A and B are shown apart, each in its own frame.
Chain A
């Protein structure tokens, strides 16, 4: 039995916690710092900006830069990826009075279909109620990110792109801010002529909104003992195509090309959404607890496109975008026990507010950002502090009292049910749904993705070969993601370089960006092999962090430049 957990990465969270070191004339002080310009972070920033506009005296207290958002991507949106079908509820809360036509959406959901696929056929099945999407909208989350960033700047927020938050500044038992990452180091960490050291960025409140597998969220969680249960992840690989006639409905599929047998643990499916008048967004999403080391979500997506049902939708079209990202799937039982800590809070996907059965996360992320902002606002008023015991607990209470909690509670047993295989899982899931979560009683446990044994199966045999028209290889896909990370950038990936072959093969196939290769000739199963890492290919999807490695933030600006994802 070989598990990725047997080969832990050379990563210690303590490396990423430090006291501030910059002298006063070099450090940067802001009022409230948000790490990550995604829906959660930007909603927090916008809400804060709104509140501060109403209370100029509080704004005064926060100095020259009352609210700052740091973003490791080239610009807000560059690292955002999602389906997405969005529930506009949080948009309405954040922008009362704004008409849906003015929101950054690409079209209302008018029709939808759920299909079960076999190798050649498709069967329409009734959509489970969790997946009903009336009054929801198809959107590109990268576009949403850009739009939200503009709104944030309109209410006085300072957005700082190409800046990674690498170290959590902690002093006196509380979070003081972050230290940004260095830029201009070479492959071996040496300082290049362009070397620019990171800076201490200090704030009264730090909101961690780093998305899936948030780096500092993980560090804060370890430092402050926030989580006792594991999170589990799925990997989504997505493409956008320009087509003559997009479908007239949003579609989800299950079944082929995933295998239903319990031994495979292949949970997931695909989504196909019309994106505006001339495009289609489609993606394959698979839980990372699968057992066959040769499973590759990227290749499953390529395979999916060869199915007559999907092929027909793409006929005459051109692929215009590609990307990949993980999704936290654990739901309620994977949330941290505490979401706030002295001086900070965790929002959005970093906390794990994703409703998997409904495939919704954006409006929960935004709602959590709004709640965090309101808590932060209270904490920075005269007479208040952000770091006393319980100062930010208002946020935890807020989340528990909101629809985030109610919705996640109702869905809590759906995803875990599927560890029993598709059929039994579907039955259990159906039971849970129909009783609004009351049955089966209790809460099913989740197993850590790295604890699942992997064996080298033969799934790879069926992957189609790249033809540059319908089916694409990983390298040309990485190119399309806009990734132009310089080749001599230091590696941001922590991973054991000598592992058993099954684990190396699992990484090789899993990674959609072809980062991991086995060095040298293939050896018989059971032997330890060397792993070669081409970190500059990485699109920071986070899959490796779920399966035995650990991503750390690369240099600011590196990685993909998603525009339509």
Chain B
């Protein structure tokens, strides 16, 4: 099953999500190659080897400087056709999603997305994806080849296994229409921390905080963890925190790896906005709060004591 993994890079580093997909591909066995697109990216090739790639194709060209999808579709199409890959894997991101979808139309090929697992069953590649707000899981597959897959961000952990990869430079040719979109300004990492939709860690507060200034405690913890602060409808209604941070049925839906629910009772209107979170830690005075029914860690206690202590401990560990 000759597999190609699309490796994304950002500001000189290979993106963790795509390295995780590479690790998984290597585990599934067979020949795994990767492709890295950009300008001045040869240096990243060696990294790829350490995460399980047997071969690294480097498409290094000024046309690929900007993180725009369409020229990358041209590169991948040529690579897939010429080298006969039957499987192409992507770690989902804004860019990777656009590339995968464009490639699916180009080849054409079947694309399954939002996968949270991949396995080989009876010689066939099978993906697993959640559906209907994570209430049901579907096993999905492909008819014919190549098979394209987009893996949900952060699903697989990158594991270094040593190993060296062969590096091959590709000649890059792009279509006229692929070059029409031009990047005038490029985004850089935001200094205030991630938005709640992108954050890996969220520290959320509800009525149990008692007063708006207590959000300061949550901000400290979020900062220590590199995460974002969110709020429930009740406190946003009361003007304690901005609507942009509201999680819930009438706010945003988030699925971070780690979600702290501080002083939040956990009514369903809130739950539907965060139930897909990886691990939920709830801190609440009321042992009967509904949130304890679905939190992974339920702490019955005073958040005003516990949250600062958590912040302290996290900071200690970081140093």
- Taking Cβ atoms with an 8 Å cutoff, the residues of A that contact B are 465-466, 468, 473, 475-476, 478-479, 484-488, 534, 536
- In the assembled complex, 11 residue pairs joining A and B whose CB atoms fall closer than 8 Å, in A order, are A466-B290, A473-B290, A475-B267, A476-B268, A476-B290, A479-B267, A479-B268, A479-B269, A487-B250, A488-B243, A534-B237
Q: Is the CB of A465 within 8 A of B288?
A: yes
Q: Is the CB of B268 within 8 A of A487?
A: no
Known A476-B267, A479-B268; judge A484-B288 contact (CB<8 A): no
Give min CB distance, A215 to chain B, whole Å. Answer: 25
Give min CB distance, B68 to chain A, whole Å. Answer: 32
Nearest-CB residue, chain A, relative to B294: A468
Give min CB distance, B287 to chain A, whole Å. Answer: 12
For the residues of A in contact with B, the DSSP-based class is loop
CA distance A475 to B291 in the complex (A): 13
Q: Is the CB of B250 within 8 A of A468?
A: no
Q: Is the CB of A486 within 8 A of B250?
A: yes
Q: Is the CB of A475 within 8 A of B288?
A: no
Provide the B219-235 mask, 1 if CB < 8 A to any CB of A, else 0.
00000000000000100
- Taking Cβ atoms with an 8 Å cutoff, the residues of B that contact A are 233, 236-237, 243, 249-250, 267-269, 272, 288, 290, 293
Q: Is the CB of B237 within 8 A of A487?
A: yes
CA distance A534 to B237 in the complex (A): 10
Known A487-B236, A487-B237; judge A475-B250 contact (CB<8 A): no
Most buried by B among A476, A484, A487: A487
Q: Is the CB of A479 within 8 A of B293?
A: no
Q: Is the CB of B269 within 8 A of A475?
A: yes
* Pairs A-B, 8 closest by C-beta atoms: A475-B267, A476-B268, A479-B268, A487-B250, A479-B269, A487-B237, A487-B233, A486-B250
What chain B residues lie within 8 Å of A485 (beta carbons)?
250
CA distance A484 to B243 in the complex (A): 16
Most buried by A among B233, B249, B267: B267
What chain B residues lie within 8 Å of A486 (beta carbons)?
250
CA distance A476 to B293 in the complex (A): 14
Contact among B236, B243, B290 with A468 in the assembled complex (CB-CB below 8 Å): B290
Known A468-B290, A473-B290; judge A484-B268 contact (CB<8 A): no
What chain B residues lie within 8 Å of A466 (beta carbons)?
290
For the residues of B in contact with A, the DSSP-based class is helix
What chain B residues lie within 8 Å of A487 (beta carbons)?
233, 236-237, 250
Nearest-CB residue, chain A, relative to B270: A475
What chain A residues lie within 8 Å of B272 (beta carbons)?
479
What chain A residues lie within 8 Å of B268 (beta carbons)?
475-476, 479
What chain A residues lie within 8 Å of B249 (beta carbons)?
479, 484
Give min CB distance, A480 to chain B, whole Å. Answer: 8
Q: Is the CB of B293 within 8 A of A468?
A: yes
CA distance A488 to B243 in the complex (A): 10
Give min CB distance, A486 to chain B, whole Å. Answer: 6
What chain A residues lie within 8 Å of B269 (beta carbons)?
475, 478-479
What chain B residues lie within 8 Å of A488 (beta carbons)?
243
Give min CB distance, B286 to chain A, whole Å. Answer: 12
Nearest-CB residue, chain B, relative to A537: B269
CA distance A465 to B237 in the complex (A): 27
Give min CB distance, A489 to chain B, whole Å. Answer: 10
CA distance A314 to B303 in the complex (A): 39
What chain A residues lie within 8 Å of B250 (beta carbons)?
484-487, 536
Most buried by B among A478, A479, A484: A479
Give min CB distance, B242 to chain A, whole Å. Answer: 12
Nearest-CB residue, chain B, relative to A536: B250
What chain A residues lie within 8 Å of B243 (beta carbons)?
488
CA distance A460 to B269 in the complex (A): 25
Give min CB distance, B301 to chain A, whole Å. Answer: 22
CA distance A284 to B53 in the complex (A): 65
Give min CB distance, B250 to chain A, whole Å. Answer: 5
Give min CB distance, A187 to chain B, whole Å. Answer: 8
Give min CB distance, B7 to chain A, whole Å. Answer: 41
Give min CB distance, B43 to chain A, whole Å. Answer: 48
What chain B residues lie within 8 Å of A468 (beta carbons)?
290, 293
Give min CB distance, B80 to chain A, whole Å. Answer: 44
CA distance A478 to B233 in the complex (A): 15
CA distance A468 to B267 in the complex (A): 11
Additional A-B contacts beyond A473-B290, A476-B268, A487-B233 (5; CB < 8 A): A465-B288, A466-B290, A478-B269, A484-B250, A488-B243
Give min CB distance, B284 to chain A, whole Å. Answer: 16
CA distance A479 to B267 in the complex (A): 9
CA distance A484 to B269 in the complex (A): 9
What chain A residues lie within 8 Å of B288 (beta carbons)?
465
CA distance A82 to B293 in the complex (A): 33
Nearest-CB residue, chain B, relative to A514: B267
Give min CB distance, B142 to chain A, whole Å. Answer: 34
CA distance A536 to B237 in the complex (A): 11
Nearest-CB residue, chain B, relative to A475: B267
What chain B residues lie within 8 Å of A478 (beta carbons)?
269
CA distance A114 to B14 in the complex (A): 72
Give min CB distance, A490 to chain B, whole Å. Answer: 13
Give min CB distance, A318 to chain B, whole Å. Answer: 12
Nearest-CB residue, chain B, relative to A480: B268
Give min CB distance, A454 to chain B, whole Å. Answer: 28
CA distance A308 to B200 in the complex (A): 47
CA distance A485 to B272 in the complex (A): 16
CA distance A400 to B236 in the complex (A): 54
Most buried by A among B243, B269, B288: B269
